[in-house]
Structure formats: structure tokens, C-alpha cells
Chain A
């Protein structure tokens, strides 16, 4: 079993993409929220609890800030990362899967 880095780029408020990803999520997998996917870091959507339970969950800093999402408003379980760290993660995980 290889850990998969899942990459989600759509808002959970307008798309079921995050749910579809969560349905196929293994325990050791990682999640990166980018572009409109960063709305998944907010606490009010239906899958917020699933996201909080993920051990390795990341959101792209510039995508959060660009949308006016305060870093204080997102769950402590989510690590805020820059683009270099994003690239590093895609190397670190044996597999990546883009959801779009």
C-alpha cells in the first residue's frame, strides 16, 4: 500500500469533489487544498469533520490569503504551506491524485 497525496481544487460549498475524494481516502493518505479547494479548510461545510480528522492535511497559503480567508479561522489540524512545500510533498508521497 502506498500513501496517496490527494489534491482538491474546488469548493465543498458548490461541488461534491471533496466528498468524492474523502470517500476514497486511506488512513495514511494526505490532502492538499488549493485554488477554490481552500474553502475546504473552513469549518462550516458538511465534510469539515472529515478534513479535521486527516493527519496530513495542507492548504496553500497564497490561495487562502488571496480569498481573504484568515489563517486564524482554519482548523489547527490543517498545515498552511507555500508552493515549494507543495512540490516537496508531491515528491515525498509515492503517489499523487488530482481531483478536479
Chain B
């Protein structure tokens, strides 16, 4: 898996702005689950953590996943635990949703929908980008 490189230099203890960019569908590879493991682990370090679901990553948000039928952990259910880990900055790409015909009713409600320009700005305002 490839990760981001150097970020902006700030003092050691200041929280870094970390954006996890999730671009893959939930069960076609282990990347979605790997990303969640990394996100939950990172939450222990009290950084300024946010998540952007773009491209096929928006499929992770679909309600009513029944992943037990294919013996996989349920990505949507794990995502619903994020508030308990104090992870509340969730973003989804409006264009990716539209492209796939996904309505907001079909996904979790506690998420900010970003138009292309706002998404580009979000990406450029981080200290680190972590792509999964």
C-alpha cells in the first residue's frame, strides 16, 4: 500500500491535519478494512483526523450491507462506530455519488457532501494525505 510522503513542518506536538482518502469499494480488496484499522489506530494519537470517501470509496457508505454472507467484516457497521472514536469529520464526494446513482438516503446521514471545488480545497489543506 502506498502512503503519502512529507507533510508541512509544524512543531512536534501540534496535532497534524490527516486526511484518509478512501477510494476503494468495501469488499473487492482488503484496502477498505485496512484503512479502517489504520484510522481506528490513528485515533488514539489525537490528531486532527478526517476521512474523505471518493470514487468507489463511496460504496463503503451504502446502508444494509450484509457482508456476513461473504464472511467479511461489515465495513458500514465499523464506520458507524467512528463517533465513539471521536472521528466526526467525514466527507463524501458529490460527483462520485452522482456518477454511481447513489442517493443520500442510501448512505449514512452524518457526513458532509462536497462539491468538486470544496473537495479540491479539502485535499490541499492537509498536513498528510493517506490514500487507501
Q: Answer whether A and B touch in the complex at a CB cut-off of 8 Å.
A: yes
A positions within 8 Å CB-CB of B: 1-5, 7, 20, 23-26, 29, 90-91, 93-100
Contact (A98, B125) CB under 8 Å given A2-B8, A24-B120: no
Query: Total interface residues on B, using CB and 8 Å?
Result: 24
C-alpha gap A99/B1 in the complex (Å): 11
> Distance (Å) between the CB of B19 and the closest chain A CB?
9
CB-based A-B contact count at 8 angstroms: 63
Nearest B residue (CB) for A19: B55
B positions within 8 Å CB-CB of A: 2-8, 21, 23, 54-55, 95, 116, 119-121, 123-129, 131
B residues within 8 A CB of A1? 121, 124-125
C-alpha gap A3/B123 in the complex (Å): 9
Decide: A26 and B116 in contact? CB cutoff 8 A: no
Decide: A95 and B55 in contact? CB cutoff 8 A: no
B residues within 8 A CB of A90? 5-6
Contact (A98, B4) CB under 8 Å given A4-B129, A23-B116, A24-B116: yes
Q: 5 other contacts beyond A2-B124, A95-B126, with CB at 8 A cut-off?
A: A3-B124, A25-B120, A26-B123, A95-B129, A97-B129
Decide: A91 and B6 in contact? CB cutoff 8 A: yes
C-alpha gap A23/B6 in the complex (Å): 23
Decide: A97 and B6 in contact? CB cutoff 8 A: no
